[in-house]
A = this chain, B = another copy of it.
Amino acid sequence: MNKPYAIGIDVGGTTTKFGIVNRNGEIIEQDRIPSNAHEVVEDFIDDLCEKLLPMVKRAGGIDQFVGIGMGAPNGNIYTGTIEYAPNLKWKGIIPIAELMQKKFGLITKLTNDANAAAVGEMMYGVTKNIKHFITITLGTGVGSGIVIDGKIVVGYDGFAGELGHTVIRHGGRLHKSTGLHGSLESYASATGVRETAIEMLTEHPETESLLRNYSINELTSESVYDCAIQGDTIANRIFEFTGQILGESLANFIMFSSPEAIVLFGGLTKAGPLLLNPTRKYMEANLLPIFQNKVKLLFSELKEADAAILGASALVWDTLRDGKGDF
C-alpha cells in the first residue's frame, strides 16, 4: 500500500517550518517553531515532536506516513548530519536524521535547505518540466540548489551548491562570517543591499535621497525598495548594482552547467523588475554568444516556506527513491 503522507521540515536560521504533505504536493497542515530556542538538539526535537504528533494523529496516525524529509543549513545528504552550521546553536556535527528516526520511528532523510527548495521547485513549481536549472535564494543570505539532468547536485562530499560564497569581486566587500572578500552573498542578499545603501549614501553625501530619512538601523532592503518605486535615484542605483553583481555571477554559473532556467526565490525578489532587469542585462552581457538569449530567468511561484517543506518531504517519497533517482 502506498502511504499517502510525508513530513517535510525546513530548519532555517531563525525559524523551523514543518508540514504534512500528500502525494499531490499539497501541504495539508503546517506550523513552525523557533530554531534557536534550544541549547541542545534533543530539546529541539522534543519540541518539534510535541507539535507534530497531534498533526500526525489528525492525518490518521504514523502508519499513514512514508517518512520524514528535512532541509537544513549544511545538511549532508550522505551522512544525515548537520555539519558546523554557522547560523545554528548546535555546534559541531549533529546526527539529526538518526535522532529524528529514533524519536518518530520513521525513515528520515536530510539535505541542504537550498537543495530542498530546488527539489520542491522541480516537483511542484515553475521548473516542473525542466531538467537543468539552478535556484538562487536571495534572502538574509544567498542559497543555491543546482539540478542537472533532473538530479540535485550534491557532489563528492554532499556540500555542492554553495554559490552564495563564490567570489565575484576580487578584494571586494568583506563577508564577516566567512572572511571571504567580494562573495556574491556579501552583495546580493538583504544584508548586502543594506550595506550597499550605507556605502552609497556615505560616498555621495551631496546626492539627495529619501533614504536619508531612515536611521541606519531602519535601512533595510524593504526601505530601499520603498524609495526606489518612488523614483529615488540612489535607491534605484542600489538595485542596479545588486542586479549587476547577481547577473555577472549568473553568467559564470551558466557557463558551468548550461541550465535551461535560473529560478530566483526569497525576499529580494519582491523588488521585481527593479532587480530582474539589471540582472538579465548583466547576465547576457557576460555570456559567450552560444549561451546568450537562451536561459530563462524566472521568479519562483511557490511560497519560500512551502518550497522548502515540499522539497524536504520529497526526499522520502518511495516513487522517488525507487524510480527517478537519488536526491
In the complex, what residue of chain B is closest to A172 when comparing beta carbons?
B170
In the complex, chain B residues whose CB is within 8 Å of the CB of A259: 155-156
Contact B256 A160 (CB under 8 A): yes
Contact B132 A156 (CB under 8 A): yes
In the complex, what residue of chain B is closest to A132 when comparing beta carbons?
B156
Evaluate whether A286 and B180 lie within 8 angstroms (CB atoms) in the complex, with A167-B252, A252-B167, A256-B161 already known.
yes
With beta carbons under 8 angstroms apart, the residue of B156, B162, B252 that contacts A166 is: B252
In the complex, chain B residues whose CB is within 8 Å of the CB of A252: 166-167, 252
Query: Which residues 73-122 of A have a CB within 8 angstroms of B?
Result: 74, 83-84
A154 to B107, CA, bound (A): 34
Closest approach, in angstroms, between the C-beta of A33 and any C-beta of chain B? 26
In the complex, chain B residues whose CB is within 8 Å of the CB of A258: 153-161
Contact A167 B256 (CB under 8 A): no
Contact B153 A148 (CB under 8 A): yes
A221 to B162, CA, bound (A): 34
Query: Which residues 241-276 of A have a CB within 8 angstroms of B?
Result: 248, 251-253, 255-260
With beta carbons under 8 angstroms apart, the residue of B155, B260, B288 that contacts A162 is: B288
A 134-158 to B, binary, CB cutoff 8 A, 1 in contact else 0: 0000000000001011010111111
Number of chain A interface residues as a range: 35 or more
Query: Is residue A173 contacting chain B, with contact meaning CB distance below 8 A?
Result: no
Query: Is residue A17 contacting chain B, with contact meaning CB distance below 8 A?
Result: no
Query: Is residue A290 contacting chain B, with contact meaning CB distance below 8 A?
Result: yes
Query: Is residue A168 contacting chain B, with contact meaning CB distance below 8 A?
Result: yes
In the complex, what residue of chain B is closest to A85 when comparing beta carbons?
B290
Evaluate whether A155 and B288 lie within 8 angstroms (CB atoms) in the complex, with A148-B148, A170-B168 already known.
no
Contact B256 A253 (CB under 8 A): yes
In the complex, chain B residues whose CB is within 8 Å of the CB of A289: 84
A259 to B159, CA, bound (A): 10
Query: Which residues 153-198 of A have a CB within 8 angstroms of B?
Result: 153-163, 165-170, 178, 180
Contact B160 A248 (CB under 8 A): no
Task: List 17 A-B residue pairs with CB atoms under 8 Å apart, sorted by A's residue number.
Answer: A74-B290, A146-B257, A148-B153, A149-B151, A157-B291, A157-B294, A159-B290, A160-B258, A162-B288, A162-B290, A162-B291, A165-B255, A168-B170, A170-B170, A180-B288, A252-B252, A256-B256
- Using CB atoms and an 8 Å cutoff, list the residues of chain A in contact with chain B: 74, 83-84, 131-132, 146, 148-149, 151, 153-163, 165-170, 178, 180, 248, 251-253, 255-260, 286, 288-291, 294
Inter-chain pairs besides A163-B255, A252-B252, 7 sampled, C-beta below 8 Å: A132-B156, A149-B151, A153-B258, A155-B257, A155-B259, A165-B255, A168-B170
